[in-house]
């Protein structure tokens, strides 16, 4: 049951309870799910991909007004461009004499093997002429090939005429996926809801929620009065789905896997501190988005029994247009409506997103080890 102790952060408890209800109602895993505040309402490919292109914070909700998170593409590209496997490292691993013999052999091969054939050609040759270093040599050449390929894939996305970082699905694909997805309806009651998130992937205090409307503080008197009231919500989604997110051709999953499992080894890292810069406890690339919770045709009706004064009712009526609890979706498009009605001891807010306008409500977040399959 919801705690009503005014010494606690009532809005945090209320929102944690909503998090649990949403996860339970839509069969979302609290081991990965993260609320997005405010949600993303894309209008095309680029705005959709912008919502994917982020390194999510380690928090149950991603308050985009509070957490200024780096772009996933930017961090991935910086990581890949900081990797190197010089020929000198290959020579050191296989021995100078073996290297001379190997390069002499290559000059006799006609036509010369393509770069992607070199690891295999090396292994066949080395098993006869240098079996003790056959495996490490093949690994070295494969690493050179992987780094070179990953860096080449980034080239169209860098520089003055750079392409924008693309992802799958496209906006059109997302709309089609949702059309074929089932709907859901559920209810929420703050008097019986459970705010305990200690079993989630980020247990403990996570207070950076808005108050009643987007941008409002949980410390505002109106917000506390709202959170301590009895709140009920009826929710209906025409369609919803947990949709996998895949980076575009610029991304190489094997490259990120190699970067992670290599530890602080030099090479492929140029410096022993580079691995920690990205993957350490305070690294820049510790988590990634694996999928998103998207919904279409959303209707939420919220009722609070708080006794707001006429002045407070007027404030809520105006500022709820910025988006209100629990989704905080601003009325920016004609597709989004937010209607507030109030009376003594009664406040009702109705949120509606017209069909055909997908809303990204949250992410499934994975630590980088899980994301890379390590």
Residue 74 has pLDDT above 50, yes or no: yes
Residue-wise pLDDT tens digits, 220-271: 999 999 999 999 999 999 999 999 999 999 999 999 999 999 999 999 999 9
Q: Name the average pLDDT for the chain.
A: 94
* Portion of the chain with pLDDT greater than 90, in percent: 89
Residue 7 has pLDDT above 80, yes or no: no
Mean of the pLDDT values across residues 26-43?
96
pLDDT on residue 208: 78
Rounded CA gap, 268 and 366, in Å?
24
Instruction: Judge if pTM exceeds 0.85.
Output: yes
pLDDT on residue 141: 98
Distance, CA of 173 to chain centre: 19
* Portion of the chain with pLDDT greater than 70, in percent: 97
* Local structure of 235: helix, strand or coil: strand
Residue 347's nearest CA partner among 322, 317, 326, 321 is 317
Residue-wise pLDDT tens digits, 281-315: 999 999 999 999 999 999 999 999 999 999 999 99
Judge whether 182 and 239 are in contact, CB under 8 Å: yes
Residue 147 has pLDDT above 60, yes or no: yes
Read off the tokens for 229.
């009231």
Residue-wise pLDDT tens digits, 154-190: 999 999 999 999 999 999 999 999 999 999 999 999 9
Residue 6 has pLDDT above 80, yes or no: no
| Residue 8 pLDDT level (bands cut at 50, 70, 90) | very low
pLDDT on residue 42: 95
pLDDT on residue 2: 46
174 sits in which H/E element:
helix 171-179
Read off the tokens for 79.
């990581």
Rounded CA gap, 241 and 295, in Å?
6
């Amino acid at each position: 049951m919801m705690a009503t102790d005014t010494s606690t952060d009532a809005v945090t408890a209320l929102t944690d309870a909503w998090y649990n209800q949403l996860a339970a109602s839509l069969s979302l895993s609290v081991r990965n799910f993260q609320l997005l505040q405010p949600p993303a309402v894309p209008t095309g490919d680029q705005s959709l991909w912008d919502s994917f292109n982020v390194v999510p914070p380690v928090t149950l909700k991603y308050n985009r007004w509070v957490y200024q998170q780096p772009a996933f593409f930017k961090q991935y590209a910086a990581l890949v461009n900081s990797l190197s496997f010089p020929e000198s490292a290959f020579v050191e691993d296989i021995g100078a004499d073996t290297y001379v013999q190997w390069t002499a052999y290559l000059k006799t091969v006609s036509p010369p093997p393509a770069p992607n054939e070199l690891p295999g050609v090396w292994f066949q040759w080395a098993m006869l002429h240098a079996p003790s270093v056959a495996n490490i040599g093949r690994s070295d050449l494969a690493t050179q090939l992987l780094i070179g390929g990953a860096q080449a894939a980034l080239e169209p996305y860098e520089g003055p005429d750079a392409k924008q970082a693309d992802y799958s699905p496209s906006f059109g694909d997302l709309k089609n996926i949702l059309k074929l997805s089932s709907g859901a309806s559920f209810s929420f009651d703050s008097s019986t809801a459970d705010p305990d998130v200690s079993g989630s992937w980020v247990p403990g205090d996570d207070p950076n929620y808005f108050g009643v409307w987007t941008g409002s503080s949980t410390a505002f008197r109106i917000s506390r009065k709202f959170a301590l009231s009895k709140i009920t919500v009826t929710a209906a989604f025409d369609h919803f789905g947990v949709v996998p997110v895949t980076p575009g051709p610029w991304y190489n999953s094997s490259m990120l896997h190699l970067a992670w499992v290599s530890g602080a080894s030099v090479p492929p890292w140029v410096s022993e501190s580079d691995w920690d810069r990205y993957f350490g406890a305070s690294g820049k690339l510790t988590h990634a988005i694996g999928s998103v919770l998207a919904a279409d045709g959303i209707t939420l009706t919220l009722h609070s029994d708080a006794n707001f004064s006429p002045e407070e009712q007027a404030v809520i009526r105006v500022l709820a247009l910025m988006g209100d609890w629990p989704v905080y979706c601003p009325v920016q498009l004609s597709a989004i409506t937010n209607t507030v009605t109030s009376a003594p001891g009664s406040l009702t807010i109705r949120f509606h997103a017209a069909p055909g306008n997908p809303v990204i409500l949250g992410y499934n977040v994975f630590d980088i080890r899980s994301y890379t399959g390590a």
